[in-house]
Amino acid sequence: MVELKNDRFLRAMLKQPVDTTPVWIMRQAGRYLPEYRATRAKAGSFMDLCMNADLASEVTLQPLERYDLDAAILFSDILTIPDAMGLGLYFAEGEGPRFKKVITKRKDVEALGVPDPEQELSYVMNAVRTIRRDLKGRVPLIGFSGSPWTLATYMVEGGSSKDFGRVKGMMYDDPAAMHLLLEKLADSVTLYLNAQIAAGAQAVMIFDTWGGLLTPKTYKEFSLDYMQRIISGLQREAEGREIPVTLFTKGGGQWLEAMADTGCTGLGLDWTINISDAKKRVGDKVALQGNMDPCVLYGSADTIRQQVSDIIADFGEGSGHVFNLGHGIHQHIDPDNVKVLVDAVHEFGQQ
Ligand code: CP3
């Protein structure tokens, strides 16, 4: 059994009793923190930062120095896998992620290999090991990956997109090629997450940022089934503890029952549904993570405290709630407002 000073997050994920609601924040290490911007400048670029284990660990721990957070999340990106497949990830200033090579046809898909996480992605595993060493058991470390569908959107669009016409076009025009791509990605993600767990990740999360733009039928066929396959292939215990798996489909509120049936431990919720409704629908099966609108952090301290209190009251009695935002924190948020949020969760969450 690993010595953890604060295991509230792991306990809540398993719906075990907790003294108060645990909280962490998607993108908690990021540009809203001046100390992050300083370390990133020292590293050179975002990818240089991800590839330097000591600096990646430094930025992972920065938000824990400021706030009483109950979990750390590996500093990396979901696009490391397509990069390791040879697509050449880079970040153009102000434009978000871009790929030098784009997947446009079946031949491109056929040429892709499945990366060995301890070879092409060894820098990620080194970061996991270094962060675990530096955390010294303060809080658990969450590892993560993108979902196959979400990774495919970036690989086919070549970066971020407005209407996702290329990737949805390929799905309808050559579904077999899309399935081949998703199969290769599901195999890659399974190996990648298991390697993170072997390196020391104590929980994992699958980010399906773009699953919500599918139809109910295509969501199941092109996103959910591949996530289910990944979950079935994951190592679910390490260091004598269960490894919780969180599934987050942004915009997936109408599919919670199907998501809860994948064998995951918890569901991430965005802010478009009430957490009490989600709890009624799936709360006996899974823990729930979320779900404050990130833009509440542009409001006053009183507004933030009220919203936190409302969400915690809406979840109601019992364990199984991990407080978070419904999506990543914005870069223009005042860092002081995050302290208001984290402290309010622990205050209002007392059982
Ligand atoms: O949460 C954390 O603190 C851990 C680190 C993390 C990052 N990206 C760091 C990052 C995590 C978990 C991610 C996941 C990720 N990356 C997702 C899924 C979650 C989501 O937000 O929906 C997606 C879609 C990506 C792809 C990606 N990476 C985009 C679209 C961008 C640009 C975002 C922007 O606001 O410009 C990135 C870059 C990125 N990933 C940054 C960080 C801190 C900003 C890079 C910088 O320093 O300039």
pLDDT in tens, the chain (351 residues): 458 999 999 999 999 999 999 999 999 999 999 999 999 999 999 999 999 999 999 999 999 999 999 999 999 999 999 999 999 999 987 789 999 999 999 999 999 999 999 999 999 999 999 999 999 999 999 999 999 999 999 999 999 999 999 999 999 999 999 999 999 999 999 999 999 999 999 999 999 999 999 999 999 999 999 999 999 999 999 999 999 999 999 999 999 999 999 999 999 999 999 999 999 999 999 999 999 999 999 999 999 999 999 999 999 999 999 999 999 999 999 999 999 999 999 999 997
In a domain? residue 327:
no
344 part of a folded domain: no
- Between the alpha carbon of residue 344 and those of residues 10, 68, 254, 349, the distances in Å are 20, 11, 29, 8
Q: From the CA of 71, how far away is ligand 1's center (Å)?
A: 17
The residue to mutate among 27, 59, 160, having the most atoms of ligand 1 within 8 angstroms of its beta carbon, is 27
Cβ 40 under 6 angstroms from ligand 1: yes
Report the CATH number that the domain containing residue 101 is assigned in CATH. Answer: 3.20.20.210
* Ligand 1 near 190 CB (within 6 A): no
246 located within any domain: yes
Tokens encoding 326 = 């419904």
Evaluate whether residue 307 is within a structural domain.
no
Of 78, 124, 204, 246, the one to substitute when testing ligand 1's pocket (max ligand atoms within 8 A of C-beta) is 78
Residue range of the domain that includes 237:
8-12+19-269
- How many domains in the chain? 1
Domain-embedded: residue 241: yes
Q: Which of these, 131, 137, 161, 150, lies nearest to 62 by C-alpha position?
A: 131
| CA-wise closest residue to 82 among 158, 26, 144, 29 | 158
The verdict on residue 142 lying in a domain is yes
